[in-house]
Structures are given as C-alpha cells and as structure tokens.
Amino acid sequence: MEMNEILEKLPKHLMNLVIDQPYAEYSAQDHAVWRYVMRRNVQYLGKVAHGSYLEGLKKCGISLDKIPSMYGMNRILQEIGWAAVAVDGFIPPSAFMAFQAYNILVIAADIRSAGQVGYTPAPDIIHEAAGHAPIIADPLYAGFLKRFGEIGSRAFLSPRDYELYEAIRHLSITKADPYSTEESLRQAEQHLFDCSDNMGEPSELAKIRSLHWWTVEYGLIGDVDNPKIYGAGLLSSISESEECLKPHVKKLPLTVDAANYSFDITEPQPQLFVTPDFETLNRVLEEFAQTMAVRRGGLYGLKQAIRSENTGTCVFSSGLEVSGTFTDVLEKNGIPVYIKTAGPSTLNYAGKELPGHSKTYHSQGFGSPVGMIRYLSVALEDFSEEELGQIGIAPDEHINLDFESGVNVSGIVKELTLRDGRLILISLDNCMVSYEGKTLFEPSWGTYDMAAGKSIVSVYSGPADEEAFGFSYPAPAEKSHKIQHDEKTLRLHAIYQKVRDIREDNCSFALLPALWEELKKEHDGDWLCALEMLELLKMKKIEDGFTAGLKAFLDSKASAEQSLSKLIADGLALLD
C-alpha cells in the first residue's frame, strides 16, 4: 500500500481489514459498467444532488471513464485531509466507523456486475468512491463524518449484532455473484431474516448504525418538499436516486428519532430523512451521543458493557481506565459501588497502558470499589500526594477505607500511582475487601489494586490502548467470491477490451462491424457493449446502416425486456 501522512496514522488494529486493490483484475466490461453509471449519475445528479457533489468528484480525482486507482485518489484526497483504503466488501460496522474516525474512507474493491448496473446489494467501488468520496470535499460534512466515526466506534454491540453483520455480508456476497444459485440465495435470505427476527432490544451499535444509514448512506438535504441527495447509497444507485425523490417515498425531517427506524438492505426504503443543512447533522449526532454509555457512564454504561460480552472500557472520575470483559457490577440506589471484569484486563491512563498493569498481570480480571470515602468531604483523587500522607495514605502505612456504599478496603499501602497530580490507583498488600458480609478480595490472592474514583464517568466499547491490549478486527472468514468466468464470458470481455482500445486510441473504427457481428452471434443478451459501440459511431458522426442496426437492436432489447428498458433508454439519452 502506498502510504501518506494520513495512512501512516492508521492504527495496527485496523490493518487486518485492508487489502490491495486488485486493479489489474478489472475487466474492460467492469470499466464499461463504471463509465455507464458515472456518466448517467453526473447527468442526473447534477440536477438533484447536493451542490458539493460535482465539485467533489473533481477534487477527489475521480474519472468518469475508468475505475479509479486508490493510490491516485489518495494523492488528491490528502489535500483535503483524507485517504482511502481497499477492503473486501462489508466490514464490521464498528470498524467502518473507526476508519472514519481516522479520516479514512474504506472502499470495497469489487465492482458490481453488468447485471446489477442500476443497484447492487453489496458495497462496491462505485458506492464508496463515487458515493462517499465526493461529499467529503465539503468541510462541514467531512467534520461530521469524522465525528460520527469517533462516536460510532465507541458504541456497544450485542452478541447478536455480529451474527447479523455476518448474515448481511453473506447475503451481499451471494447476491453479488452472478453465478449464485436460486437455492443459495434463498438460504442466505432466510438466514438474514432469522437473525433479524431474533435481535432483542437494539444495542447502541444497532441504533447508531440506523442513524448512519439514514444520514451518511440514504440522507436527503434541504427542504422536505424539494430535497437534494447527499447519501452515498443514493448517489451510487441509478435506480434509487430517481425513485427516492418521488412522492411515494415518505420524507421526514431528520431528528434523533431516526436512530429508531430499522432498515432492510434488500428492499427500497419506504421513508427517508431530510436534514436542512450539514450543521443539523452534527447537532443530531451530538444529541444521540448524549444517550450513549460513552457519555452517560455510571450504572447504565456498565450494564451496556456487561450485555455486550465483549471488551469494554470504564473510565473513573480520576482518569483511570479499566479495559476488559465486564461481568458484574454491584449497585446501591442505582449507583455502581463495585465493578468487576473477568479474564485478561488492563489499567490505563489517557489511552495508554500503565506500566505493570498489562493483561498478563491482570490475567484473572480486575475488581474495584467506586465512590466516596465515609467522613471525607473530598474524593481521594482530589488529594495531593502530600495531603494523602497527612490522612495516613502513604507507602507502608496500614489503611482502612470505609466507603459510603458500605464497601470496606483494609491493607498495607504498597504503592500510590498518580498522574497529572491526581491519585488514580492504590496498590495494597495483605488486603481484605468486603461488602455487606461478602468477601470480595482476601490477602492470599496477592496484591490488590484499587482504583481511585468517586464515579464512573464514561463506558465505551473496545480497549483504551488497542495496541497494548492486542486488539484487532479479524479479517472476515468468508471472502467475496472471485468470479471464475467461463470461456464464453472471457471472449465477451475481449470484445469490450477491443472497443475500449478503439475509444482510447481514437482509431481502428473499421473493426467495429466485425466486433458487432461477433457480439450478436455469441452474446446476444449483452446491451452495454452495443451501447459503447453506438457511442463511438456517434462520436465520429457516422450515420449508416451499421449505426441504424445497433440502434434498432437496443430499441428491440428495451421493448422486449422490461428490466432493461430504462437502463437502455437512459444510455441512449446520454449519447444525445
């Protein structure tokens, strides 16, 4: 991967998802699909998309005539503070948002087949490069996208969320493969339905994913009665970009309530949400963030972490960060008084692991009280080291701490850990911890590390220090299908390539009649190559029997096959 200053900041835990763009594997037919969609989009979207779309295409270095190279795009994207990487289809939603937080666009390397020109069920390079990239040229929108990534990557998921993601990925891979059987499609759709039907209460990730869908992917902007398009899913779909503005699709003003609207990737959306401007996107996002554990902390946040059954981090008011799998929280009057993790855990400060407090050291988990000490009007973290000594909290001193909650901690101080002048951790030997007659820690278990903090101010998904924790997103087990074309299809691709060579070299037009005869004889179902040939003749202002024959073929194809009627009509309109 060709690096630049933005890509160099990408953390290691995301690199497993990055692949090389297989540029040499794109066929001439693939480039023809790109040309058709992009030229059609520019013609239509220039009238109905947000004003930054066309200008953004130029700023991002996206050509209408050929699939862009991400390396070429990156040289231009870095000028607006962004970069792009190739990935294999759908990646986990939290990872997708994490990339955004680092100003990285993830671009699915594959391109839709010729049979899915109008709409593809799988993310592809048209969706990502021609949908997402142009709008980020707008600074306000780019800031929103980055902020969405920062907040969304902190959202807690439920155990079923990953199952749903894998079901969506499997269906998209199956649908994108033109050689998939009807039975395999039926099974994939049924599996997704079964997963969707058993999700239970929506997780934070499910809700923010819905908000992402109704804004970043399928968002409209401006007046509710006459909106423009800015969502990447609409910008990259010829059919949906036209249908979405029709009256039968309900238009609703964007509010935070959009997060409660689920969506179906296999069906057209019955309603869309309209933001008056990009500033409102940030306001709605911030309003949603206030409902999340990362902002609320406390008992709510800890319960979200426990429910997720995945690595999470809780932040004490002192700044100490505990990362691990949270399994239990003792509470009193709706307030957490003791937190527990199970299995390898780490202690951190300001996003960096504390020396001596790795997963190896805390291999069996971590537990600590939360709250104020009885008879102290000031929280422990607010005492200076000198003041701590004055109240008897110093190395080698025996202490007995009675928390207002009823938790009791007694032992000999081994070490005090302070950061930025604040106490964050007390390590004790010969320590006993108890609560309501139950022993939570006893001396024979070794050194006890007690967090200092009157409250839990934040709880979020993932570890505080990803690299030290050894956290990463594994590459998807199921890969997008590498289509193995038969000999007949390869011969079709060869015809496309010859037509492309004629256009690029602006010569050898005399070869077109023979190529047309070969196309008719062996590939009479193909219309896009015929359209490409007709375009070349129009460019040369050749109006003869050959030209008329191509036009008659396309008209006949459009009349005979309803699914192709509009695609062909739109293609012919481009030539005029």
Q: pLDDT tens digits for 246-261?
A: 999 999 999 999 999 9
Burial class (CB in 10 A: 0-12, 13-18, 19+), 484: exposed
Planar angle of CA 40, 45, 48, nearest 5 degrees: 145
Q: Is pLDDT above 90 for 146? A: yes
Strand partners, 418: 423
Question: Domain extents for the chain?
Answer: 7-158+201-286, 309-469, 487-575
Q: What is the pTM of this model?
A: 0.90
Please, what sign has the CA dihedral across residues 62, 67, 69, 70? positive
DSSP 3-state of 523: coil
Mean pLDDT of the chain: 93
Average pLDDT over residues 36-56: 89
Beta strands 271-275; 250-253: pairing state: parallel
CB 178 within 8 A of CB 231: no
What integer pLDDT is reported at residue 545 of this predicted model? 87
**CA distances (Å), origin 195, targets 95, 160, 164, 189:** 21, 8, 6, 10
What mean pLDDT comes out for the span 371-393?
95
In this predicted structure, the answer to whether residue 370 has a pLDDT above a threshold of 70 is yes
Q: 470 falls in which pLDDT band (50, 70, 90)?
A: very high
* The dihedral sign for the CA sequence 179, 180, 182, 185: negative
| Helix axes 182-196 and 159-176, enclosed angle (nearest 10) | 160
Residue 570's pLDDT band (cuts 50, 70, 90): very high
Q: What is the DSSP string of 287-356?
A: HHHTTSHHHH-HHHHHHHHHHHTSEEEEEETTSEEEEEEEEEEEEETTEEEEEEEEEEEEEEETTEEPTT
Indicate whether 430 pLDDT > 80: yes
CATH number 1.10.357.10 is the correct assignment for the domain at 7-158+201-286: no
Residue 457 has pLDDT above 80, yes or no: yes
Least confident of 94-98, 125-129, 453-457: 125-129
351: its two tokens:
């996003």
pLDDT of residue 525: 87
Q: Which two tokens stand for residue 251?
A: 């238009």
pLDDT of 568 over the 90 cut? yes
**pLDDT for 214-272, tens place per residue?**
999 999 999 999 999 999 989 888 788 889 999 999 999 999 999 999 887 767 789 99
Pairing of strands 104-108, 83-87: parallel
321-350: average pLDDT:
98
pLDDT tens for each residue of 515-547: 999 999 999 889 999 999 999 999 888 888 899
Confidence of residue 401 (pLDDT cuts 50, 70, 90): very high
Tokens of 167: 């079901």
- pLDDT of 201: 86
Instruction: Kindly tell me if the per-residue pLDDT of 1 is higher than 70.
Output: no
Predicted pLDDT at 82: 92
